[in-house]
Structure 1
Amino acid sequence: MAKEMFVQLSDFQLFAKLTGENKGKPTVVMDAGYGDSSKAWDSIISDISMLTEVLIYDRAGLGKSEKSSKSRTSSEMVKELNELLYRAKIKHPYILVGHSFGGVNARLYATEYPNEVSGLILVDSTPEDYREKFLPTMSKEFREAYNKQFVYEGNYEEFMGSLKQVKESRRKLNVPLIVLSAGKKAHYSEESQKLWNEMQKEILEISSNSEFIVAENSAHYIQNDEPEVVIDAIKRMIEKF
């Protein structure tokens, strides 16, 4: 059974939806990519909610959530998520699942609140050195299109500020980590695809217990292209508990 709620934070409300039931396992908390609402998880949510309780939510200014007056950087979003979970009385431990930019938030959350997190799954997450290491290898058209997309939540500076925050706070985490990398990215040359997978693999270093999986037939939205890969990763993470 799904329970929808609007949770009041300082000067705005966040929309969240809780599905599934707590069977003594961690609650799965899912954070979508940049500009995406919680609907980004529609393809897998019913499968996951058969396993345990799942919380999806819309970050401020997206989907059904109101806008926040605070800056749109990961550190603010992580505080807001923490407050949302507290006010909605969702008890930890959590398994955090972050797609793309949501993976940046999930990493920072696990760093800021290590005692609340029992597992971390990053779904084609944005690497911290994306601007320095990856963007320069792409075509001028790709870079221009990339820079123009930052109009949905937070601007280019705030997004890059978030990558800086996750880089500066980086330390070894004592939680199991699964990194899923998309193996068939749109508009990527063979070299770019190889570099992308390598940069995804480097994220493994943040945990002493990590696993790397390439979703060979997936573009950026692995949860849509190969949902079973994401579902299986979450299932195995739940079983570790």
Structure 2
Amino acid sequence: MNCHADLAYTVLGPACDERSPNPTNNLSRPPLVPPVLCFHGSGTSSHYDTWLPLIKETSRFAPVLFHERRGVRASASTDPHHPRDALQDLLDLLQHVDLQPPYILVAHSYGGTFAREFLQQYPDQVAGVVLAETGQETPTKHDEEQYRRQALGKKPLSVIHADSLYEKRKAITSDAGLDLLRKWTDEDERLKKAQLQLSSNARYVRVEDCGHDIVRHRPLVVSEEVKWVISNLKPAEQTSKVRLRDAGEYLRARISRLRRQEKN
């Protein structure tokens, strides 16, 4: 992983070298697909190894930025940040690596809080969203407002619902335990489906044979939902200010710019 302002991060994309601090140095890929921003869950241990298979799979067709928030092992320790502070860190990092909006947000678990805060603060910078096992975290003050005004409008949204108690179900046999399990399952489903209100172009993906840690155990499922979001983008959202017919001109401009930098 690279480091910028005490934040550990990785940028990968089609034919992009992970070691490069600036992914736009890769001349083989004009930014025709919105960059994917990853929002990991809670905990102070590094999330990098958990996310790496998903990052690599998704980076085959889109640029991907993964970073660890402050307080996580690979990033500098600090007092807990308000989500707005964490987003400012992210904005600074995006400027550093030169990834331009709009973005596709991919969040897991508690990471949904930060993705929803990003949507609240910068709605015009969001092209689409994938929410994997989110919704059970503490509701934010924005939840009902975002649902009421359908914050994403017609932008594509995928809500992935796994089984948070998948590993524990076989051990629950008592009547009281089974009754509690049913209530938990119903409430979990309600919270997950409530998120569909964020967009009129949303789909619900149920993965019953996987636990809460779906990013680790079923990265292909999450990656496929990123593909679905990309396939449902409006033409204006499919590029970062670069149209397909302008790709050749973009490459020529990038080559010329890099040559000037080398001379200096």
**So what's the TM-score if we normalise by structure 2?**
0.69
Q: Using a 3 Å threshold, how does the CA distance of structure 1 residues 34 and 200 change in structure 2: closer, same or farther?
A: same
Secondary structure of the 2:8 match is: strand
Residue 186 of structure 2 is aligned to residue 177 of structure 1: no
CA distance, structure 2, for counterparts of residue 58 and residue 72 of structure 1: 13
Alignment partner of 1:30 is 2:34: no
Pick aligned residue for 1:19 from 7, 12, 18: 12
* 1:240 correspondence with 2:232: yes
Q: Paired residue for 1:167, among 137, 143, 163?
A: 143
Query: 2:61: which partner in 1?
Result: 51
Task: Report the identity percentage.
Answer: 26
Q: Match for residue 146 of structure 1?
A: none
Amino acid at match of 1:124: E
Aligned to 1:5: 2
Instruction: Letter of the 1:228 partner, please give it.
Output: L
The aligned residue for residue 140 of structure 1 is: none
Residues 168, 72 of structure 1: alpha-carbon distance in 2 compared, 3 angstrom cutoff? farther
For 1:198, the equivalent position in structure 2 comes to 190
- Cα contact 1:178–1:233 (8 A) shared by 2: yes
In structure 2, the partner of 1:148 is none
Which residue is equivalent to 2:85? Answer: 76
RMSD: 2.1
Aligned partners of 1:75 and 1:165 also within 8 Å: no
What is the CA-CA distance between 1:73 and the residue it aligns to? 2.7
Q: Secondary structure at the match of 2:53?
A: coil
- Aligned residue in 1 for 2:253: none
1:29-66 per-residue CA deviation (whole Å, 9 max, x = no partner) reads 11111015233212322211111111111111213211
> Which stretches in structure 2 are left out of the alignment for 5+ residues?
15-28, 170-180, 234-264
1:109 aligns with 2:118: yes
1:92 to partner: Cα distance: 1.2
The 8 Å contact of residues 135 and 191 in structure 2, kept in 1 or not, is answered as: no
Q: Structure 1 residue runs of 4+, over 4 Å off?
A: none
Write the letter of the residue equivalent to 1:185: L
User: For residues 50 and 103 of structure 1, what CA distance do their matches in structure 2 show?
Assistant: 24
Distance of 2:131 and 2:182 partners within structure 1: 23
Residue 108 of structure 1 and its aligned partner are, at CA, apart by 1.3
Cα deviation 1:1-54 (Å, max 9, x = unaligned): xxx43222xxxx211100113551011111111015233212322211111111
Structure 1 residues 88-103: aligned runs within 5 Å:
88-103=97-112
Counterpart in the other structure of 2:238: none
1:211, CA displacement in angstroms?
A: 1.1
Query: Could you say which residue in structure 1 is the equivalent of 2:173?
Result: none
For the Cα contact (< 8 Å) 1:217–1:226, is it kept in 2? no
Give the match's secondary structure for 1:43: helix
TM-score computed with the length of structure 1 as normaliser? 0.75
Shift of residue 184 of structure 1? 5.4
2:66 is the counterpart of 1:66: no
Deviation of the 1:210 alpha carbon: 1.3
* Partner Cα distance (1:81, 1:225) in 2: 26
The higher-RCO structure (CA 8 Å, 6+ apart) is: 2
Q: For this pair of structures, how many residues does the alignment match?
A: 200
Following the alignment from structure 1 to structure 2, what is the Cα–Cα distance between the partners of residues 68 and 82?
A: 18
